[in-house]
Structure 1
Amino acid sequence: MKKITERIKNILIILATLSLCFVLCLILQYIFNDSALISAIFVLGVYLVSVLTPGYIYGISSALLSVLMVNFAFDFPFFAFNFTIAENIVSAIILLAVTMLTCGLTAKVRHQDAIKADRDKERMRANLLRAVSHDLRTPLTTIYGSSSALLENYDNFSDEQCKEMLKGISEDSQWLHRMVENLLSITKLDSENVKIIKTETVLDELIDSVLVKFAKRYPNQAIDVDIPDDFVIVPMDALLIEQVLINILDNAVQHAEGMTSLKLKVFTISNKAIFEIKDNGCGIPESNLKDIFSGAYTTISETCDTKKNNAGIGLSVCASIIKAHGGDIKVENEKTGGCVFRFTLNMEDIWNE
């Protein structure tokens, strides 16, 4: 069904573009009484069709139709097909050749761009895989080492030492759990055909759920919350948007050195809900801002006496989720210090349903 819809759309593009060219040529010929621009206009039309439609077929079809339309309406005898006159034949051959070349070059450029995009995507995946491999190895080594030490030498450790080692195992296990959740989300969302099932979500309930889950992880970290007093409903996959908010808040706690304030603000403008997470920490190096959602961004954090590379997996997941929702996400440094993550979701006018 989707292929049929796409095919109909491409056919309509051809008809609309060539019809516009046809009408424009009639107007210009009427005004200037000159057919010099007609071929150029139809070449432009074929180029537009080639850009707006995939593959070669639609471009070639529009080229053939252009030749027929020019011969029918703008070559002698007017408004009749005639391919017996030498001048008409030469004009048709030249127009067909130019339009076919235009179509071919456009398709070739698009194909090369697609190949380059695929290469960049594969390179990013490879970098991501290397970073993830390192990220997973470090906490697993810590968990294995601590648990083995406790099993083999339990009697040699004091209660305080045992609690400290168990705390390290627990924290590294939670970190691994979050990493696996994010990787699973990337796997599910890493598809152009992904379809998010949105449900009407009450904003207050979403924020309450996020705060409860965040407080379990960081009971000593306060969050200043500012949300509308009005009853706000936003269509979304609530679990995925929760993950976005928790990932960004988690990123602030882990990496915003010197942070003393963490704020979560939500407000509405027109038919959009805008979420902001702001901290007053060290900010993000300007050179890293453009790559922060790519999965290639790397920072160093210390947890449980071990250094772990955070490859920006969580932020890459955030970008994928927001993109799948049809929204946009960005980050910028604040002039007063720290940074602000901001993402936007489209709202539904429930009164018009």
Structure 2
Amino acid sequence: MTANSIKSSKAFSVFKDSAICIVVLTAATLAGYAFKAFQLADADIIMLYIIAVLVISIFTSKMYFCLISSLVGVMLFNCFFTYPEFSLSVHDAGYLVTFVTMFITAFIAGTLANKLKRNILIAEQNAREKEEAALLAQNEQLRADMLRSISHDLRTPLTSISGNASTLISGGDTLDESARQQIYTDIYSESMWLIEMVENLLYATRIEDGRMQLNISVEILDDIVQEAVKHTKRTHPKRNIIVDMYDEIIPVMADANLIVQVIVNLMDNAVKYSDEDSDVTVSVRRENAHTVVISVSDHGTGISDEEKEKVFDMFYTGGSRSSDSRRSLGLGLALCRSIITSHGGTISVSDNIPNGTVVSFTLPIGEVDLNE
């Protein structure tokens, strides 16, 4: 900030505070005339000026405005409400005591109000600083958790990939075809898991930085679900995925790519945390005329009530492991919640009776213009 801008800012502040003094004292004087018309006592009019000084002390930035307004208030009372009117002369010596008392009372009240205002501002500033410090500590903890999770979760698949690659390099010719095929499958599986984790990390970074752009338009929900199911079947070809949808076409307001990502994440979780011979179900139902509910259910071990409150937190894993013994990075459900919330929907976890988990989210139903 330049010297000229600082001077301009100070000048504007003084002008604003002066205007407040003039307006408030003028209002007190006009109210005093109203009091006088109703034949109220001088003490009531004096109280108006004391209140005016309180207001000025609260809404002005400098202490000297309290002093000036106290003095001007006494002069206005003397000029307009004591004999002789419209004069600063004092006809009755007893009014001198009144003026001094009025000035001292107004100044003390204004000073206390000013100090109270300053204490409130200091308290608010301290509260903001504490909140910022707590948020900073939380972010640092989040980063530490992220680094621990990434380092732990990268080590396992990378170790597997490097070990399998080393086996192929050193003794691949001695292995039979089925053994080599199994190694290829393991390398591919671990690589796909790494790709999924990196994609989730990229989404998390975009969400945290506020760079995730939504391209919301009217989309056919059946197309979104089928695309997500197709993707999941490519990565989990042995799992049986059931799609339970209405025969009707349901248009939704959504960013299709992001909603596909949500459903894929939910199905991946359902696959990972349930037995290989169990089904994963994707169901769609209308909640009302404006909302549709999409649910992904499995028949795994389920989630405890305590963990249900935390599963949408970033990097929360609950110490759980998937059926293939991999540890989750704890990004999937947090990303899903961010995406669904940005669509104006909600997401929740419930039990799948008799066992398993159901994750449901809502989307707004759109309208299709048949004339387009």
- TM-score, normalisation: structure 2: 0.67
1:263/1:63 CA distance change after superposition, 3 Å = farther
In the alignment, what sits opposite 1:115?
A: 133
Q: In structure 2, what is the Cα distance between the partners aligned to 1:343 and 1:222?
A: 22
Q: Are 1:132 and 2:120 an aligned pair?
A: no
Q: Are 1:301 and 2:308 an aligned pair?
A: no
1:190/1:332 CA distance change after superposition, 3 Å = same
1:257/1:288 CA distance change after superposition, 3 Å = farther
Deviation at 1:308, TM superposition (A): 2.5
Deviation at 1:237, TM superposition (A): 1.8
In the alignment, which of 196, 214, 224 is matched to residue 242 of structure 2?
Answer: 224
Larger RCO of the pair (alpha carbons < 8 Å, separation 6+): 1
Q: Which amino acid aligns with 1:296?
A: Y
In the alignment, what sits opposite 2:309?
A: 290
Q: In structure 1, what is the Cα distance between the partners aligned to 2:191 and 2:305?
A: 32
Q: In structure 2, what is the Cα distance between the partners aligned to 1:195 and 1:106?
A: 35
Deviation at 1:207, TM superposition (A): 1.0
Q: Are 1:204 and 2:222 an aligned pair?
A: yes
Structural mapping, 1:57-206, within 5 Å: 73=27, 75-78=28-31, 83=69, 84-85=72-73, 87=102, 89-90=106-107, 91-192=109-210, 194-206=212-224
1:72/1:147 CA distance change after superposition, 3 Å = farther
1:273/1:138 CA distance change after superposition, 3 Å = same
Q: Which amino acid aligns with 2:311?
A: I
Deviation at 1:278, TM superposition (A): 1.7
Q: Are 1:271 and 2:224 an aligned pair?
A: no
Q: Which amino acid aligns with 1:251?
A: N
Residues 143-164 of structure 1: per-residue CA shift (max 9 Å, x gap)? 1111121122122111111111
1:101/1:345 CA distance change after superposition, 3 Å = farther
Residues 197-239 of structure 1: per-residue CA shift (max 9 Å, x gap)? 2122111111111111111122232233233433322222211
1:67/1:336 CA distance change after superposition, 3 Å = farther
Q: Are 1:261 and 2:214 an aligned pair?
A: no
Give the secondary structure class of the aligned counterpart of 1:263: strand
Give the secondary structure class of the aligned counterpart of 2:310: coil
Deviation at 1:109, TM superposition (A): 1.9
CA RMSD of aligned residues (A): 3.2
The answer to whether the 8 A contact 2:262-2:339 is kept is: yes
Deviation at 1:130, TM superposition (A): 0.8
Deviation at 1:257, TM superposition (A): 4.5
Q: Which amino acid aligns with 2:143?
A: R
Q: Percent identity?
A: 27
Give the secondary structure class of the aligned counterpart of 2:340: helix
Q: Which amino acid aligns with 2:360?
A: R
- TM-score, normalisation: structure 1: 0.71
Deviation at 1:247, TM superposition (A): 0.7
Q: In structure 1, what is the Cα distance between the partners aligned to 2:320 and 2:363?
A: 28
Q: How many residues align?
A: 287
The answer to whether the 8 A contact 2:218-2:367 is kept is: no
Q: Which amino acid aligns with 1:232?
A: I
1:223/1:69 CA distance change after superposition, 3 Å = farther
The answer to whether the 8 A contact 1:196-1:237 is kept is: yes
Give the secondary structure class of the aligned counterpart of 2:155: helix
In the alignment, what sits opposite 2:90?
A: none
Unaligned runs of 5+ in 1: 1-61
Deviation at 1:169, TM superposition (A): 0.9
Give the secondary structure class of the aligned counterpart of 1:78: helix
Deviation at 1:92, TM superposition (A): 4.3
Residues 126-175 of structure 1: per-residue CA shift (max 9 Å, x gap)? 11221111111111111111112112212211111111111111111111
Greater Rg by CA: 2
Q: Are 1:316 and 2:330 an aligned pair?
A: no
Deviation at 1:330, TM superposition (A): 2.2
Q: In structure 2, what is the Cα distance between the partners aligned to 1:308 and 1:315?
A: 16
Q: Which amino acid aligns with 1:283?
A: G
1:200/1:107 CA distance change after superposition, 3 Å = farther
Give the secondary structure class of the aligned counterpart of 1:300: coil
Q: Which amino acid aligns with 1:284?
A: I
In the alignment, what sits opposite 2:262?
A: 244
Q: In structure 2, what is the Cα distance between the partners aligned to 1:228 and 1:68?
A: 71
Unaligned runs of 5+ in 2: 1-15, 34-48, 53-68, 75-101
Deviation at 1:293, TM superposition (A): 1.9
Q: In structure 2, what is the Cα distance between the partners aligned to 1:251 and 1:63?
A: 62
Give the secondary structure class of the aligned counterpart of 2:237: coil
1:287/1:79 CA distance change after superposition, 3 Å = same
Give the secondary structure class of the aligned counterpart of 1:310: coil
